[in-house]
């Protein structure tokens, strides 16, 4: 607002920011100290200023005198306005003002006047900074003052006055009076998030309104979108959707050379959580809820055909119905004003979740899942700096389309059944139905609607409602995604004698290998939400001084180790953490194992996937664990000094013979680790 214009003509499009897609919990406005017929405002705030060289912190103090009360039809004019800006000396260097002896200029301060939940912006321009000497050391203190516009009051109700963005135009000069640069330097500063930017609260009395009252009808509205479909306390999952693809949403093409598999519906559900941003408002809101999921609605397969097509093709189409809780978060209106609201998201029809990738899960090719859904958004409980604003019960954005993707190769990875990270951007459409007594649709649309709004969701593993699925991997009721590992970090595990049998085929122990000791070094992630297939890495793993029987005896002493490091540590894909016994089944993955001695070396490569599996059983929180080498593959790169029975292409396998050798592969770890499945409980 400026120049005494009325409340209904001063609103700018930036005020629509209160309509944030994602928002919550305002700050309580403070009041100045009343002295007779006036009240003094004296507020110090932390600001961040944007310089060409980067952001700097500053302190801004705003002082002014306001009337103690107001009356409808009478103007309110702040008097004695002074803005004191304290900048570090590095600010002058960042503005190419090195060598300045004095600085002067002007300050423009944005303010927000909110009455009855209706905000109005007014600018305090042209506050003068007199020529000020730059001290030899310490910060630079600039004081700006001058007259500011009055505000016309048209109705009763408290007026909350807050300050915000500050624009500083500096004119640094050298000792001889010449300018330090070709033009004046401009700086934009905004209050730090979390600052209470309120200057004063001015009660305005009138018929039907006592001081301190606010507009009726603020907040309220329709019930949560989950209310009509909320699950009963004894149900594992929210209501299931129909097992049908949403044909209103785009689907990827189906290659001509694939076959459609018989439908195998798997009803399930999963937790979801994450956040979404409103780009224009520099704000975000948490998201949390559950999704009913039906897997196997439609699938298309092309079997691998080496060498032309070693990976094959698999397209799996699934559907989901998501129920998100009402979300709240804080964002900034005008780039500075704490504004809050409650958002409800309702999914319109099924979401399609389509995964496309290779047949083998261990292929080097990625499996990418695309989730597409249409949603409706409603806003209510809107507050500006703690003051309610009545937007009515039907303030909504038009239906919007959300497209999220997840990758099996990312960290966190994503597969529909295992969960993980989904992310994407969305375009917020226009708003309608906003406002009571006045139309706020265009304002909300101008400040909020637009492209580039980031969304990130973490889905937990599904809870299958039918079938004999391992509850350690697919827990019911649903749990959050990922492990919590304590303390994590570097570890070292050592063993005594390790015994394997090695043979040309499974179950034929024609060769025996005994290693007197081995060592494993690695690093585990620490914290919560850790991807189950990326718990950590093995940086070193070596079986030392090994000797063999049969044809391996001629090798003398040899070592066994991975041919490529680091190795990924994951939980076992079908066993995981048994929460009854505390046993965690792990898997180390490597392309090959290498056997080497002074005169012979050869690699063992998996024959049915791109990686070799080394399994381990770890009693949760203990110091002892067991490693089982279960490599089945073929020999590669056999050197000339090896026995003739070891030739490239022949099958070979390592097996820990736990039945005969009870101490085989038993390790002691230096730092006990605790694993919890499902991340941090809500």
Pairing state of beta strands 567-571 and 54-67? Answer: unpaired
Question: What is the average pLDDT value for the chain, to the nearest integer?
Answer: 78
What was the pLDDT predicted at 330? 53
What was the pLDDT predicted at 225? 36
Describe the strand order of the beta sheet including 483-486 as a list of residue ranges.
Answer: 527-530, 483-486, 674-677
Q: Closest Cα partner for 384 from 665, 121, 629?
A: 121
Measured between alpha carbons, how far is 329 from 288 in angstroms, rounded to an integer? 13
Taking residues 398-409, report their average pLDDT.
92
Look at residue 663 and tell me whether its pLDDT is greater than 80.
Answer: no
**Integer angstrom CA distances of residue 550 from 502, 513, 556, 645:** 10, 10, 11, 10
Residue 355's pLDDT band (cuts 50, 70, 90): very high
Look at residue 21 and tell me whether its pLDDT is greater than 90.
Answer: no
Helix (H) or strand (E) holding 542: strand 536-548
* Of residues 411 and 34, more confidently modeled: 411
Measured between alpha carbons, how far is 121 from 133 in angstroms, rounded to an integer? 34
Helix (H) or strand (E) holding 444: helix 441-448
Look at residue 23 and tell me whether its pLDDT is greater than 80.
Answer: no
Measured between alpha carbons, how far is 602 from 92 in angstroms, rounded to an integer? 67
Taking residues 271-300, report their average pLDDT.
80
Residue 284's pLDDT band (cuts 50, 70, 90): low
How many other β-carbons are positioned within 10 Å of the β-carbon of residue 190? 21
Measured between alpha carbons, how far is 92 from 103 in angstroms, rounded to an integer? 10
How many other β-carbons are positioned within 10 Å of the β-carbon of residue 639? 12
Residue 282's pLDDT band (cuts 50, 70, 90): low
Measured between alpha carbons, how far is 654 from 562 in angstroms, rounded to an integer? 13
Look at residue 314 and tell me whether its pLDDT is greater than 50.
Answer: yes
**Which DSSP state fits 68?**
S
**Integer angstrom CA distances of residue 666 from 83, 582, 588:** 71, 17, 16
* SS3 (DSSP) at 617: strand
pLDDT digits (tens, 9 = 90+) for 416-437: 999 999 999 888 899 899 888 7
What was the pLDDT predicted at 149? 87
Measured between alpha carbons, how far is 79 from 655 in angstroms, rounded to an integer? 87
* Torsion from C-alpha of 570, 575, 580, 582, nearest 10 degrees: -30
Bridge partners, residue 657, by sequence: none
DSSP E strand boundaries for 279-433: 283-302, 313-324, 327-333, 337-357, 368-384, 387-389, 395-407, 414-415, 419-428, 431-432
Q: What is the CA radius of gyration of the chain?
A: 34
Residue 128's pLDDT band (cuts 50, 70, 90): very high
Look at residue 118 and tell me whether its pLDDT is greater than 80.
Answer: no
Burial of 325 by CB count in 10 Å (0-12 exposed, 13-18 middle, 19+ buried)?
middle
pLDDT digits (tens, 9 = 90+) for 607-620: 655 566 677 888 88
Tokens 């401009």, residue located: 186
**Which DSSP state fits 481?**
S
Q: Closest Cα partner for 516 from 545, 553, 556, 555?
A: 545
Which of 206-210, 542-546, 644-648 comes out lowest in average pLDDT? 206-210
CB 482 within 8 A of CB 436: no
Helix (H) or strand (E) holding 486: strand 483-486
CA angle centred on 318, ends 314 and 320, rounded to 5°: 155
What was the pLDDT predicted at 301? 95
Helix (H) or strand (E) holding 91: helix 90-94
Residue 55's pLDDT band (cuts 50, 70, 90): confident
Residue 655's pLDDT band (cuts 50, 70, 90): low
What was the pLDDT predicted at 401? 92
Give φ, ψ of 597 to 5 degrees.
-140, -170
Measured between alpha carbons, how far is 327 from 288 in angstroms, rounded to an integer? 8
CB 109 within 8 A of CB 62: yes
Look at residue 385 and tell me whether its pLDDT is greater than 70.
Answer: no
pLDDT digits (tens, 9 = 90+) for 59-104: 999 999 999 888 887 888 899 999 999 988 777 766 655 677 888 8
**pLDDT > 70 in the chain, percent:** 78
What was the pLDDT predicted at 15? 31
**Integer angstrom CA distances of residue 324 from 156, 248, 288, 529:** 39, 22, 6, 20
Taking residues 151-172, report their average pLDDT.
81
What was the pLDDT predicted at 613? 65
**Integer angstrom CA distances of residue 627 from 177, 512, 585, 587, 658:** 79, 17, 10, 9, 11
**Which DSSP state fits 230?**
P
**pLDDT > 90 in the chain, percent:** 27
What was the pLDDT predicted at 9? 27
Q: Which two tokens stand for residue 569?
A: 């540590």
Residue 524's pLDDT band (cuts 50, 70, 90): very high
What was the pLDDT predicted at 214? 29
**Which DSSP state fits 462?**
P
Terminal alpha carbon distance of the chain: 45
Count of helices and strands (H, E) across the chain: 2, 44
What was the pLDDT predicted at 320? 94
* SS3 (DSSP) at 15: helix
What was the pLDDT predicted at 98? 64
Residue 511's pLDDT band (cuts 50, 70, 90): low
Please tell me the CATH code under which domain 31-202 is placed: 2.60.40
CB 585 within 8 A of CB 613: no
Look at residue 270 and tell me whether its pLDDT is greater than 90.
Answer: yes
How many other β-carbons are positioned within 10 Å of the β-carbon of residue 588? 24
* Of residues 651 and 474, more confidently modeled: 474
What was the pLDDT predicted at 597? 92
Taking residues 197-219, report their average pLDDT.
54
What was the pLDDT predicted at 404? 94
Look at residue 384 and tell me whether its pLDDT is greater than 80.
Answer: no
Helix (H) or strand (E) holding 94: helix 90-94
Q: How many residues does the chain have?
A: 682
pLDDT digits (tens, 9 = 90+) for 432-458: 998 887 787 877 777 678 888 888 899
- Positive or negative, the CA dihedral 547, 548, 549, 550 is negative
What was the pLDDT predicted at 461? 94
């Amino acid at each position: 607002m400026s120049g005494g214009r009325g409340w209904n003509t001063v609103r700018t499009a930036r005020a629509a920011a209160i309509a944030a897609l994602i928002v919550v919990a305002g700050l309580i406005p403070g009041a100045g100290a009343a002295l007779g017929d006036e009240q003094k405002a004296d507020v110090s705030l932390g600001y961040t200023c944007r310089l060409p060289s980067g952001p700097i912190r500053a302190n801004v103090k705003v002082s002014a005198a306001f009337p103690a009360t107001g009356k409808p039809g009478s103007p309110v004019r702040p008097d004695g306005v002074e803005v004191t800006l304290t900048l570090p000396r590095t600010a002058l260097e960042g503005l190419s003002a090195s060598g300045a002896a004095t600085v002067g200029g002007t300050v423009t301060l944005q303010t927000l006047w909110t009455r009855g939940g209706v905000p109005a912006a007014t600018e305090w321009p042209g506050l003068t900074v007199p020529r000020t000497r730059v001290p030899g050391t310490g910060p630079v203190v600039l004081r700006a003052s001058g007259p500011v516009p009055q505000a016309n009051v048209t109705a009763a109700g408290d007026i909350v006055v807050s300050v915000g963005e500050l624009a500083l135009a500096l004119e640094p000069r050298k000792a001889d009076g010449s300018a330090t640069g070709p033009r004046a330097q401009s700086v934009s500063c905004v209050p730090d998030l979390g600052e209470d930017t309120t200057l004063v609260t001015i009660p305005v009395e009138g018929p039907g309104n006592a001081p301190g009252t606010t507009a009726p009808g603020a907040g309220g509205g329709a019930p949560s979108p989950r209310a009509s479909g909320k699950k009963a306390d004894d149900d594992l999952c929210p209501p299931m959707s129909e097992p049908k693809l949403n044909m209103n949403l785009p689907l990827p093409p189906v290659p001509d050379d694939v076959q459609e598999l018989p439908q195998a519906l798997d009803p399930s559900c999963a937790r979801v959580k994450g956040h979404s941003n409103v780009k224009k408002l520099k704000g975000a809101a948490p998201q949390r809820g559950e999704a009913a999921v039906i897997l196997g609605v439609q699938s298309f397969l092309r079997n691998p055909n080496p060498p032309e097509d070693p990976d094959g093709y698999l397209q799996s189409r699934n559907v989901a119905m998501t129920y998100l809780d009402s979300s709240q978060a804080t964002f900034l209106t005008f780039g500075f004003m704490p504004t809050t609201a409650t958002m409800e998201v309702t999914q319109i029809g099924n979401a399609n979740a389509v995964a496309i990738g290779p047949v083998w899960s261990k292929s080097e090719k990625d499996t990418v899942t695309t989730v597409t859904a249409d949603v409706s958004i409603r806003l209510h409980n809107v507050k500006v700096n703690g003051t309610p604003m009545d937007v009515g019960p039907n303030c909504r954005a038009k239906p919007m389309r959300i497209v999220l993707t997840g990758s099996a190769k990312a960290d966190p990875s994503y597969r529909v059944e295992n969960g993980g990270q989904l992310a994407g951007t969305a375009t917020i459409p226009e708003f309608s139905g906003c406002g009571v007594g006045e139309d706020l649709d265009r304002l909300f649309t101008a400040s909020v609607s637009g492209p580039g709004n980031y969304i990130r969701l973490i889905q937990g593993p599904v809870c299958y409602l039918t079938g004999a699925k391992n509850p350690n991997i697919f827990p019911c009721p649903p749990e959050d995604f990922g492990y919590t590992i304590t303390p994590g970090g570097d570890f070292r595990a050592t063993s005594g004698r390790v015994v394997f049998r090695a043979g040309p085929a499974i179950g034929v122990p024609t060769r025996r290998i005994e290693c007197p000791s081995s060592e494993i070094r690695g690093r585990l992630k620490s914290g919560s939400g850790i991807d189950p297939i990326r718990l950590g890495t093995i940086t070193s793993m070596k079986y030392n001084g090994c000797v063999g029987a049969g044809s391996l005896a001629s090798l003398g002493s040899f070592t066994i180790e991975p041919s490529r490091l680091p190795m990924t540590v994951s939980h076992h894909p079908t066993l995981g953490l048994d929460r009854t016994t505390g046993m965690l089944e792990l898997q180390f993955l490597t392309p090959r194992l290498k056997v080497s001695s002074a005169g012979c070396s050869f690699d063992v490569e998996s024959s049915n996937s791109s990686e070799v599996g080394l399994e381990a059983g770890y009693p949760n929180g203990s110091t002892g664990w067991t490693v089982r080498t279960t490599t089945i593959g073929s020999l590669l790169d056999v050197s000339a000094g090896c026995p003739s029975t070891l030739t490239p292409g022949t099958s070979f396998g390592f097996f820990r013979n736990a039945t005969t050798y009870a101490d085989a592969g038993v390790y002691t770890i230096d730092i006990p680790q605790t694993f919890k499945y499902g991340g941090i409980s809500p």
